Structure 1
Amino acid sequence: MASPITPVLTANWGEERSWTLEAYEARGGYGALRTALTKTPTEIVEQVKESGLRGRGGAGFPTGMKWGFLPPYDTDDEAENPPRYLVVNADESEPGTCKDIPLMMASPHTLVEGVIISSYAIRANTAFIYVRGEVLHVIRRLQRAVQEAYLAGHLGKNIHGSGYDLELIVHAGAGAYICGEETALLDSLEGRRGQPRLRPPFPAVAGLYARPTVINNVESIASVPAIISQGSDWFASLGTEKSKGFVIYSLSGHVTRPGQYEAPLGITLRELLDLAGGVREGHQLKFWTPGGSSTPLLTAEHLDVPLDYEGVGAVGSMLGTRALQIFDETTCVVRAVLRWSEFYKHESCGKCTPCREGTWWLVQVLSKLEKGEGRPEDLDQLLDQCDNIAGRSFCALGDGATSPVISSIQHFREEYLAHLAHGGCPFDPAKSEFFGAAEEVHA
């Protein structure tokens, strides 16, 4: 099967030394920046709005609309208005997600150019890229790309004679899943412990250093140069009616060729699996995540669901970060959900009771069930615990922790009951089958 579109964000990933300024400019890099500087900031914002670009970090909120939430300038003199900031969330930490780090490694200048254009659009003179501290190789590559941009005049004072100034800082975080939440990221960036903030006020009004701030995902910002150079109509022609443009899908797990696949929104998992060589030879799909472990599980019956925000939402899940984790019939779903729950318990910041206490109790009950020591009534207890977590925590971590639990019980209740009937996991990975039949589970 041929690739559904000509790659955009990944177009130069296979080129020699694609991460260098020389290689990037050889493909027309920073041409979009020069075009943007001939327009007014308002025109850039409107162009992004018209493109239909939605946030690529998981929430899917319209990017141009988010920019438009910033308070208007009191005067035309920028020096008399309070500073505002652009912050790029590069703290990619959702289990199964692997799109931002490859992009920053293969083509960091795509992100840097997007940062400059986006900062110009929102009238910010300082921008930050917040990267996970564990990925030192990515940090070094970004720092070198930023240095090259300064030397070439793409950053700094009076960029290309436009009168626009921008300072770009690459900031290494201390490493915490919670810092992927935008307000916790801001606290971390300010030097405090990363914990979600109570809203309002929202970051657009009082964000970094209590100033108006826009926070966007790496892929969102990296998509801006293509919109400026190719036009909003071109971008809007890709994808579906409500989910516009191209995205990077991360395929991992039991798939023949795992990796990053760029395609328009609305492609199906069946089509992506065709591109990736299918589920590993001799096995079949059992369940999968459409957007990382914090999105409700889907099964083989959802192979033809359009992978856009509306299509995935219609079947009870979320597109999230498009981290497609593929699991075949050798995987015990109870064990997989337990491992994810242990992750969320460990990564809870502890600020709010529903998440701090709730994730701990989820692990306790799931551990008993996985060992076959629980009772059938524990499944209802799990759902009740999830009901007391979801929608009651400061941030989306609590909601995400409940998603795999609720959806796994919905789709695989029989497997939970089989653990109880057999005093442990009844699944034999070597034989890819249950030890006992369904009627034995209900005996």
Structure 2
Amino acid sequence: MKVQSSSEFKLQREVEYGTPEQNQTVKEIVAAIKKEGDTALLRYTERFDGVTLTPDALRVTPKELEAAYSRVEESFVTAIRAAAVNIRSFHARQKRNSWMDLQPDGTILGQIIRPLKRVGVYVPGGKAAYPSSVLMNVIPAQIAGVPEIVMVTPPATGGKAGIDPYILVAAAEAGVHEIYRVGGAQAIAALAFGTESIEPVDKICGPGNIYVALAKREVYGAVDIDSIAGPSEIVVLADDSAEPGYVAADLLSQAEHDEMASAILVTPSHELAYAVAAEVERQLLELPRQSIARASVEAYGAIIIVEDIEEGISVVNRLAPEHLEIVTADPMGLLGSIENAGAIFLGPYSSEPVGDYFAGPNHIIPTNGTARFSSPVDVDDFIKKSSLIYYSKEALLRDGHSIIELARREGLEGHARAIEIRLENEGKGGDSHGEQ
């Protein structure tokens, strides 16, 4: 990894919006699914995934879910169950309740919290399959009270054997039983607009490739989406108390995700900087996904030497990373200075994979600097809120003229008259339409 000063560093990576050709392809796929339904869905599945299906074969059967358990290790089942307990416990603390405020004049104001009715979860294939993402999407939705959760995943996440059994087991453990073997932009369109076999949803969550990301952007408005996720990111803010091997391993844990992933060390220690650079090179040679991690490190990796930790914090807040590890002598003491980070890991034993898989907080986190204004997926992503207003006669008589004043200043006479007619009626002593 290249060692450089903070003044030399520039992360040259823009948000992915796709090429004109990719955008056009996605638009065509979405339009075809809207028009042709299953016919187009099956055609694109054969074209892009090399799998020929019939409409009856789109949905994963209960027998397939049951059979998946025989294809995974018992240790995996134990681990996924333990992780699910932690994820459920963490997200349960986020649950909101409806509330009402009865005021002395009889007015009632409040907020009604309702879960979304139906949510679609996309689970990718491609370079890797991610059972952990099943839990991170499904469990917050369940805690929110979403009654219908449907999952889609490419038909060959496990190669010629079909859907990856680890994904199916994770889905079964999470309680998802409506699963379809479709992927790509065509799956996103099917979730958004529905087909003969798949009912439309209210929101689509989950990561995917550029075509999935562009399709989510294309259907947004017809349905809600979680985000348009970019490549994974990690920033480690460390001083000379950090163990170089730990830091290097954590940087590579994100670099191995994708050639466009970003792994950055920020430190005031020259000694640590060069030790980590050497460790990264050594560990790369032993990494199974070496080619992916090396491409990431060479294009988007960096070791930034700053004057002191205060400057390091400034760099971190400017980067607004998806994952931030603080590995210093007093990590908790720096927490209050961190303004922009999706997830913050404190201390040498809070390695980023602890959060990815097991601790409980969600691992679907804002990327591309969007931690400046957005948050990890949580229970709030699966609810909707309605305002409640019950205005009493006393309150309307008291506030009516102010409401009329504001309406007429905006040129909305109909608004003003809707209030005025009530004031005139009540002012005449008529209360046949008011409170007794």
TM-score of the alignment, normalized to the shorter chain, above 0.5? no
- Higher-Rg member (1/2): 2
TM class, shorter-chain normalised? under 0.3
